[in-house]
Structure 1
Amino acid sequence: MKPFIRNGLLITAGAVVAGAAISAAATLSLPATGTFPVHWGADGAPDRWADRAGAVRYLWTMPVITLAVGLVLAAVPFIDPRKDNIETGRRGYVAVWLGVMVLLTCIHGGVALQMLQTGDDPGSSGQMVRWVIAATAILMVVIGNYLPKTRSSFFFGIRTPWTLSSDLVWEKTHRVAGPLFMIAGALGLVGAFVLSGIWLALQLSVLVIGAALISAVYSYFAWRNAPDRDHGTNLTV
């Protein structure tokens, strides 16, 4: 097993253990009766509730999700046709892996905390969406920082027909995409605490999709004059 994959699995194991500890502590602390929030709407307020048994199932599902995501990230370097390129950019891959695990663990901890605080301060649960968006925005900044350091891959990065057919276009596109994603993440982080209602839920998605679309369009124009672009396989069948 390659060292960077082993490191990622160790990070995953740490996140799963932390998640299990969060679930165990919350399970022991939840009141025997009452309802608890398990989902939050676009306005930041809880819109789905469960009894204690349902809340406990939800709590213990989250470490399983974290484990599944970690295993998928571990499998990608083995199944990507350009696996050598992922290893070349392994620092960025592991950094994003770490960021995803931290994000999932923070969401898990936030959900558990909001469940426990609901009985004391029902309004406090409405802040959950803000913190999730803020944590996701920080992850976008991390991804943007490492995008220019990536190499052509079918699973990671701005994957368009033009970036995948030219290493030069991949490099140029990700030099543009990196700052765009960092800006989107920074603006999304600010928006997480100054916006409300539907704009709170949509703003980060709009910013990230905008950054991705600009990068994809740029990749086409960069490809038009790329000296290493593919011109076909010359197959006659």
Structure 2
Amino acid sequence: MGHGIKALVFDVFGTLVDWRGSIAREGAAWGAARGVAADWAAFADAWRAAYHPSMDRVRRGERPWTILDHLHRETLDRLLAEFGIIGLDEAEKDHWNRVWHRLTPWPDTVPGMLALKPHFTLATLSNGNVALLLNMAKRAGMPFDTILSAELCRHYKPDPEVYRMAYGLLGLQPHEVLMTAAHNSDLVAASQQGLRTAFFPRPAEYGPAQVKDKQAEHAFDFVATDLVDLARQLRAI
């Protein structure tokens, strides 16, 4: 196709799936069925706000390697108390923690991936653990060829080891792999390891108050409006 790209590796949370809306919707339905009132959008925001700080403790060596499911569960236990949600047994807490396995894709995600799949290898490149990403992909119908996770190299993005792992495991050169994300910082880190980069915005990821990542802030290789537009730019459509 002229651009030399053989594989796309995707950030997942926010880029392909709507974590905030998914958690808020499931929380509202769960709360209504049990008579539990809470600001579920705020609950989702607070859960996500702990994402980077909890991983950074692992990245800095302040605690041993810990998968994201376990980090999420530690945050959940704290948030349930903070939001006054009481009386859950261990099975219910585990089910709630696995809401991250049940996130809903954005409307263009699956159509874009289906257009790309005949022409490229498609893989996750996410801080989510393997089981989380696999369960999410199967439930959402996201047609990945393989699951690449921070768990495989025991480093969290933006550690360089994660990006190097991607092209190494795929048997490709860095310039043959296109890191695809809705987050500027992820793409900058990928580009520093030689990967090609593609940005498209998800202006509703953090809700109506979103400020960051509403546009490309660097000279990435591709800038699209969404995943279907990126597929067009890669001449897959």
Q: TM-score range by the shorter chain?
A: under 0.3
Question: Larger % of strand: which?
Answer: 2
TM-score, L = length of structure 2: 0.26
Q: Which has the larger radius of gyration?
A: 1
Question: Larger % of helix: which?
Answer: 1
